[in-house]
Amino acid sequence: MSPQMNNIFAAILIAGLVAMMAGFVSHIVYKPKKLEAEAYPIAALETAPVAGGVAAPATAEPVTDLLATADIAQGEKLFKLCASCHSIDAGGPNRVGPNLSGVMKKGHAQAAGFAYSDAFKAKAGAPWTVEEMNTFLWNPKKAIPGTKMAYAGMKKPEDRAAVIKYLQSK
Ligand code: HEC
- Are 137 and 153 in contact, with CB atoms under 8 Å apart? yes
Alpha-carbon distance 69 to 13, whole Å? 77
- Are 120 and 108 in contact, with CB atoms under 8 Å apart? yes
Alpha-carbon distance 46 to 39, whole Å? 14
- Are 78 and 162 in contact, with CB atoms under 8 Å apart? yes
Alpha-carbon distance 160 to 166, whole Å? 10
pLDDT for 37: 53
Ligand 1 within 6 A of CB of 88 = no
pLDDT for 79: 98
- Are 120 and 106 in contact, with CB atoms under 8 Å apart? no
Alpha-carbon distance 78 to 137, whole Å? 12
**Taking the mean position of all CA atoms in its chain, how far away is CA 155?**
8
pLDDT for 124: 98
pLDDT in tens, the chain (170 residues): 666 767 777 777 777 666 776 666 666 555 555 555 555 554 444 445 555 566 778 899 999 999 999 999 999 999 999 999 999 999 999 999 999 999 999 999 999 999 999 999 999 999 999 999 999 999 999 999 999 999 999 999 999 999 999 999 99
- CA-CA-CA-CA dihedral for 154, 155, 157, 163, to nearest 10: -10
**Taking the mean position of all CA atoms in its chain, how far away is CA 150?**
12
Ligand 1 within 6 A of CB of 103 = yes
Taking the CA of residue 133 as reference, the ligand 1 atom at the shortest distance is 29
83-109 in b/e form (b: 16+ CB < 10 A) is eeebbbeeeeebeebbbbbebbeebbb
pLDDT for 45: 47
**Taking the mean position of all CA atoms in its chain, how far away is CA 62?**
19
Ligand 1 within 6 A of CB of 169 = no
**Amino acid at position 94, single letter:** N
pLDDT for 87: 98
Taking the CA of residue 117 as reference, the ligand 1 atom at the shortest distance is 17
- Are 60 and 66 in contact, with CB atoms under 8 Å apart? no
From the CA of 136, how far away is ligand 1's center (Å)? 9
